[in-house]
Amino acid sequence: MTLMRTFLGAAASLALAATAALADPAIIFDLGGKFDKSFNEAAFTGATRWAEETGGQFREVELQSEAQREQALRRFAESGSNPIVMAGFAFASALETVAPDFPDTKFVIIDMVVDQPNVRSVVFNEHEGSYLVGLLAGMASKTGTVGFVGGMDIPLISKFACGYVQGVKAANPDANVIQNMTGTTPSAWNDPVKGGELTRAQISQGADVVYAAAGGTGLGVLQTAADEGIFSIGVDSNQNHLHPGSVLTSMTKRVDVAVYNAFTEGADLETGFNVLGLSNDGVGYALDEHNDALLNDEMRAAVDAAKAQIISGEISVHDYMSDESCPVM
Amino acid sequence: MDFLTLIQILDSAVRLATPLLLACLAGLFSERGGIFDIGLEGKMLAAAMLSASVAAVTGNVWLGMFAGVGISILLALLHGLASITFRGDQLISGVAINFLAAGLTVVIGQSWFGLGGRTPSLMGEGRFKSLEWPLTETLEGIPIAGPLYSELISGHTFLVYVALLAVPASWFILFRTRFGLRLRAVGENPAAVDTAGISVVRLRYAAVAICGVLCGLAGVYLATGLAAGFVKDMTAGRGFIALAALIFAKWRPWHAMGACMLFGVLEALSNRYQSIEAPTYIIVAILIVMAAGLVWSSRKSLLDLAVLGGVAFLLVTVGTVSLFSSGLFGQTAIPGQFIQALPYILTVVILAGFVGKATPPRAGGEPYVKER
């Protein structure tokens, strides 16, 4: 009898746990991995913050290959996770096919627009944040030459580059910006050796500030900049602490906020188009104890003024994605 | 392009070519001994991972180096065990090592450091410093020779010089010693070696072990010389490029150095310039020569003619288009991607038998079975 009760009790608690798991949100990290110190890590931070504050649980998976995208999405949707957050533009085509099959599940895709009734598309105004760090780069540069190292050659990264160049030119109209993309395949997000080599090539052409928008590749850029004694600018997460005194600032993209919001709103989140920009602190530049000494009062005043002007609409930063071209490049 | 730029590009090329060169020589020893090794990539990756881990924990790059080379030798001997002792398929064993390394490095790295497969960034003594040669400051002022010495020759890490010295050493061992003669013989005709009373198995294990040492050094250089720590998949296909270089060099040490340097220069060029401008008439001339060469080389076989003729037609079309868009004396931009793809194109051309014939060691890929 007691044995029977134990079994029944165990079965009941299992069933309870299963129903609890049904409502759990889920997050899928892209190929960079959730500890890339950059984009995916920001998403992970947001999810962890939600879990700590609410005591809830979330399911997660790190992709290992392109082929797993649709598979991972379907598995989470079938097991009842809701909402499902995807960190990365590359999920778009997989989501297009999966979303209609699960009309009751809410999906959130970051960095891409997918037009489905049950999808929230979160995009960031990276060009605005990049403009601000470009302004700082232009002011910090002594040689008048600054660099940009992008990850994979896609329009999203050109959006970073275009905003950055506009910022640099705003600070110094004669400035020269050297741009390099690491590659054309997803492995371009994870090649610090090539990132470092590109940085050395830019330094030898006179660059003394280099902005890395390249995920894990950026770690090599920041390392080389620190070795060679020039400034670098981090991206997505606040990377100032990686090499204090060398990382001038970081272009923060609050992927964590996007994930946190989605998890908090839970299964009944609003779908549609969601833009995070300077005005709602979705993007910005990082200032902390690690780069406090690097930014002088003049630079801080200029960047704060520019931020206010962008929010009020006085300065309009061109968005590369709007017409796939950049007036200053 | 001024002289200083040229020096900087060559400097970058030397850095980029070093891991290729070490891996290429590793493959050279293994394949000359009759053991095909497509597991170069995996061995490099494992060596990079373990050397970065040990260097991060102990703060001593030399311990890291020994650990990295050690794991590479272990994997090489595993390959040897599968393909020499158990006479398994050498390609399958190599692929297995690649998968093993790609997966294990991340899993073990995650459980050791909790950084998602990365190792902590290496500081101070945890990395190989670049060696400044004597008198760099004094000689820098001399035109041409000065920058050549201070930028190009001096200022690399220890392992770059090891790689460069490994080339004449490999040549000497393979072509001027008894051991080298036997090693080459075992790759060409193991039965003859066996008849002479020399152990085929022992020679092949020696070849594989040397391959492990060199491959390990390549991985160690990636993680502790070029970068400052391990990142998952950081070899990014360099093991396979080294194999391409090996074919390109037709399994000869000096040519291997030339091939790796060529690959390095091309990569450095594409890093430096996103696109290269050249006068259109030069490009058109090169394209036409290439097309003519392709057709000429395929004149004996109808199938070859169909395939290579198609490629030749494509080249001529590209030439015509660029001619019409910019005029004969205008400038045409060559995209950086093309420069980067050039090594692979060259390798395919060589494999197709266009520029001489690439003949691998005759007994390569076959396990040796003693006659009964």
Chain A within 8 Å of B10 (Cβ-Cβ)?
no
Q: Would you list the DSSP string of A192-227?
A: HHHHHHHHHHHHHTT--EEEEE-TTHHHHHHHHHHH
Identify the band that residue B271 occupies on the pLDDT scale cut at 50, 70 and 90: confident
Query: Which of B121, B234, B271 is opposite residue A201, by nearest beta carbon?
Result: B271
Backbone angles phi, psi at A87, to 5 degrees: -90, 95
Interface test with A, best of B234, B267, B275, B337 (most A CBs within 10 A): B234
Query: Which of B5, B271, B337 is opposite residue A180, by nearest beta carbon?
Result: B271
Going A211 to A214 to A216 to A221, the CA torsion angle's sign is negative
pLDDT at B295 over 50: yes
Q: What pLDDT is recorded for position B44?
A: 95
Q: What pLDDT is recorded for position B260?
A: 93
Smallest CA–CA distance, residue A270 to chain B, in Å, is 32
- Judging by DSSP bridges, how do beta strands B130-131 and B156-157 pair with one another? antiparallel
Q: Would you list the DSSP string of A52-68?
A: HHH----EEEE--STTH
Size of interface A-B (CB pairs under 8 A): 66
How far does chain B reach from its first CA to its final CA, in angstroms? 65
Q: Which two tokens stand for residue A286?
A: 């990082």
Q: What pLDDT is recorded for position B83?
A: 92
Q: In chain A, which residues have their Cβ closer than 8 Å to the Cβ of B7? A: none
Q: In chain B, which residues have their Cβ closer than 8 Å to the Cβ of A204? A: 5, 8
Q: Who has greater pLDDT, B300 or A151?
A: A151
Question: Average pLDDT, stretch B240-262?
Answer: 91
> Tens digits of per-residue pLDDT, B94-120?
999 999 999 999 889 888 887 777 888
Residues A36, B222: C-beta atoms closer than 8 Å: no
**Please, which residues 209-238 of chain B have a Cβ atom closer than 8 Å to chain A?**
222, 226-229, 231-234, 236-237
Q: What angle do CA A175, A180, A184 make, to 5 degrees?
A: 155
Chain A within 8 Å of B12 (Cβ-Cβ)?
yes
pLDDT at B272 over 60: yes
Residues B116, A187: C-beta atoms closer than 8 Å: no
The three-class DSSP label of residue B370 is coil
Cα–Cα distance for residue pair B326/B331, rounded to 1 Å: 6
**Please, which residues 111-150 of chain B have a Cβ atom closer than 8 Å to chain A?**
114-118, 121
Residues B274, A193: C-beta atoms closer than 8 Å: no
Q: In chain A, which residues have their Cβ closer than 8 Å to the Cβ of B228? A: 223, 227
Q: Which two tokens stand for residue B112?
A: 């050791």
Q: What pLDDT is recorded for position A101?
A: 92
Q: In chain A, which residues have their Cβ closer than 8 Å to the Cβ of B233? A: 187, 190
Q: What pLDDT is recorded for position B141?
A: 72
Q: What class has domain A10-125+257-276?
A: alpha beta
Query: Which of A184, A201, A216 is opposite residue B231, by nearest beta carbon?
Result: A216
Q: What pLDDT is recorded for position B312?
A: 77
Each residue's pLDDT tens digit in chain A (329 positions)? 455 555 555 555 544 444 444 568 999 998 777 877 778 888 999 999 999 999 889 999 988 778 889 999 999 999 988 899 998 888 999 999 999 999 989 999 998 888 999 999 999 999 999 999 999 999 999 999 999 999 988 899 999 999 999 999 999 999 999 999 988 887 788 888 889 999 998 998 899 999 999 988 898 999 999 989 999 999 988 889 989 989 999 999 999 999 998 999 888 888 888 899 898 888 999 989 998 889 999 999 999 999 999 999 888 889 888 888 888 77
Q: What pLDDT is recorded for position A63?
A: 85
pLDDT at B307 over 80: no
Q: What pLDDT is recorded for position B348?
A: 73
Q: What is the CATH T-level fold of the domain A127-252+279-323, as seen in this structure?
A: Rossmann fold (3.40.50)
Mean pLDDT of chain B: 86
Residues A223, B228: C-beta atoms closer than 8 Å: yes
> Tens digits of per-residue pLDDT, B7-63?
888 998 999 999 999 999 999 999 999 999 999 999 999 999 999 999 999 999 999
Q: What pLDDT is recorded for position A5?
A: 59
Q: In chain B, which residues have their Cβ closer than 8 Å to the Cβ of A242? A: 121
DSSP state of A244: T
- Judging by DSSP bridges, how do beta strands A145-152 and A176-183 pair with one another? parallel
Q: Who has greater pLDDT, B21 or B139?
A: B21
Smallest CA–CA distance, residue B277 to chain A, in Å, is 17
Task: Nearest chain B residue to A37 by CA: give it.
Answer: B115
The pTM for the full model equals: 0.81
Cα–Cα distance for residue pair A142/B314, rounded to 1 Å: 48
Residues B274, A179: C-beta atoms closer than 8 Å: yes
Query: Which of B115, B116, B227 is opposite residue A193, by nearest beta carbon?
Result: B227
For chain A, where do the domains classified as CATH 3.40.50.2300 start and end? 10-125+257-276, 127-252+279-323
Question: Average pLDDT, stretch B237-258?
Answer: 90
Q: What pLDDT is recorded for position A20?
A: 44
Nearest one of A168, A178, A172, A183 to A199, comparing CA atoms: A178
Global ipTM = 0.78
Cα–Cα distance for residue pair B101/B209, rounded to 1 Å: 18
Q: What percent of chain B has pLDDT over 90?
A: 46
Q: What pLDDT is recorded for position A18?
A: 46
Query: Which of A184, A197, A219 is opposite residue B231, by nearest beta carbon?
Result: A219
| Block residue for tokens 């970065």 | B52
Q: What pLDDT is recorded for position A222?
A: 93
**Residues 6 or more apart whose Cβ sits within 8 Å of residue A87:** A27, A28, A29, A30, A39, A40, A43, A110, A255, A259
Task: Nearest chain B residue to A183 by CA: give it.
Answer: B337
Number of Cβ atoms within 10 Å of the Cβ of A170: 20
Smallest CA–CA distance, residue B164 to chain A, in Å, is 20
Question: Average pLDDT, stretch B324-339?
Answer: 74
Cα–Cα distance for residue pair A165/B192, rounded to 1 Å: 67
Residues A190, B117: C-beta atoms closer than 8 Å: no
The CB-based long-range contact list for B143-152 (8 Å cut-off, 24+ gap) reads B144/B3, B147/B3, B147/B4, B147/B7, B148/B7, B151/B7, B151/B8, B151/B11, B152/B7, B152/B10, B152/B11, B152/B14
- Judging by DSSP bridges, how do beta strands A119-124 and A283-285 pair with one another? unpaired
Q: In chain A, which residues have their Cβ closer than 8 Å to the Cβ of B226? A: 193, 196-197
Residues A192, B16: C-beta atoms closer than 8 Å: no
Residues B232, A198: C-beta atoms closer than 8 Å: no
Q: In chain B, which residues have their Cβ closer than 8 Å to the Cβ of A219? A: 121, 229, 231
Number of Cβ atoms within 10 Å of the Cβ of A322: 9
Q: What pLDDT is recorded for position A246?
A: 92
Residues B12, A197: C-beta atoms closer than 8 Å: yes
Q: What pLDDT is recorded for position B182?
A: 94
Task: Nearest chain A residue to B9 by CA: give it.
Answer: A201
Total residues found in chain B within this entry? 372
Q: Which two tokens stand for residue B276?
A: 């290269």
Q: Is the bond preceding residue A244 a cis peptide, omega within 30 degrees?
A: no
Question: Average pLDDT, stretch B146-155?
Answer: 78
Hey, which residues does A176 pair with through a beta bridge?
A145
